Amino acid sequence: MRKVTKKIVSMALTAAMALSVVAFAVPTVKAEAATKTYNVFVEDGGVELLYFGDTVTSVSSTNSKVVKVKKDKTAHYKAIALFKKAGKATVTVRVKGYRTYATKKYSFNVKKASSILKPSMKAIKSSSYTTNVLVSVKNNSKINFDSVKLSYSFKDSAGNTIETDTTSVFNLGAKKTGYASLASSNSRGNVDLSQSSIKVTSLSRAKALGTGKTVGSGSYIAKFDPSRKVMTFKNKNYKKTYLTICAYIIFYDENGEITEVQRKSWSLKKGEVQTSSVYEPSGGYSNYKVVTNAYASK
């Protein structure tokens, strides 16, 4: 009887061990449907799809002419989605984890930048030698852009081209307006902005999909001290990532006209403080206004 009992126990243990081996050998498969559509734009560099602790094994796109997706060659936990032209596409990423496989799906609605970014040009205080132009870009989207590249063409009243070049607006906040300054030598001709043109050529944003979140003014300080000519920035309490804080100091003359716009920005960790020098416009100013925005970055 004792021998029979030992044999039964031995068989039970062997069976349990076999089941245990099977359990470890066969990974769990988990699929995730494309339940959310991301509104994105034709952008430089695309966005990163991150799966920390896992490995991207395969990627695919339903329309690679609209969204091209690839595995990152240097980081096994990362895939990169590149937005090539306007249209729709669904990206599928297969990820391997510890004892698990998962299928991640993303539905992208790609639009042209011209549908959300509205650039314009305005002449501001100039001299007899140069024509100074203020470029404004209104961002009608909910996305914060690290940079927006624009191409412009200055023409005279007869439509003759005086100058063509590019410029950029940096740290353009969601639902905000960003600025850049241009100057053209009058020795080339007199600029007529009614004949001139400007357009968005490319843009980029915080790389990881889901980052770039707008952060309210209660989380940071961006203060201008005109007596010291210093702009002070502080990340008060935002701790998830770095916080990019951008400030435009807009100077006005006695007639309320803009004479100059200066941009200052910092990316700060929680509690970090930095300062930037602000130079006084030539000819002085009568008043100023500071416009700020902030978003999570890095």
Q: Could you say which of 111, 128, 152 is where a domain stops?
A: 111
**CATH code, domain carrying 284:** 2.60.40
**CATH code, domain carrying 36:** 2.60.40.10
Residue 179: name the closest of 260, 295, 268 by CA.
260
Domain membership of residue 210 (yes or no) is no
Q: Could you say which of 80, 111, 142 is where a domain stops?
A: 111
**CATH code, domain carrying 131:** 2.60.40.3230
Please give the residue that has the higher pLDDT: either 206 or 286.
Answer: 286
Question: For the whole model, what pTM was predicted?
Answer: 0.75
Domain membership of residue 269 (yes or no) is yes
Please indicate, yes or no, whether residues 222 and 143 belong to a single structural domain of this protein: no
Residue 207: name the closest of 15, 75, 104 by CA.
75
Please indicate, yes or no, whether residues 247 and 196 belong to a single structural domain of this protein: no
Q: How many structural domains are present in the chain?
A: 3
Q: Domain of residue 287: give its range.
A: 217-297
Q: Could you say which of 95, 111, 127 is where a domain stops?
A: 111
293: exposed, middle or buried (Cβ count in 10 Å: 0-12, 13-18, 19+): buried
Please indicate, yes or no, whether residues 231 and 178 belong to a single structural domain of this protein: no
Please indicate, yes or no, whether residues 87 and 144 belong to a single structural domain of this protein: no
Mean pLDDT of 118-144: 91
Local structure of residue 172 (DSSP, 8 states): E
Domain membership of residue 8 (yes or no) is no
The whole-number pLDDT of residue 25 equals: 43
Of the listed ranges 14-28, 77-91, 137-151, the least confidently predicted one is: 14-28
Please indicate, yes or no, whether residues 131 and 101 belong to a single structural domain of this protein: no
What is the spatial distance between Cα 239 and Cα 104, in angstroms, rounded to a whole number?
A: 28
**pLDDT (tens digit, 9 = 90+) per residue, 155-209?**
999 999 999 999 999 999 999 999 999 999 999 889 999 999 999 988 887 666 6
Instruction: Flag whether pLDDT at 22 surpasses 90.
Output: no
Of the listed ranges 20-34, 218-232, 269-283, the least confidently predicted one is: 20-34
**% of the chain beyond a pLDDT of 70:** 86
Please indicate, yes or no, whether residues 121 and 199 belong to a single structural domain of this protein: yes
Domain membership of residue 4 (yes or no) is no
The whole-number pLDDT of residue 184 equals: 93
Q: Which strands make up the sheet holding 230-235, listed edge to edge?
A: 220-225, 230-235, 273-277
H or E segment to which residue 6 belongs: helix 2-25
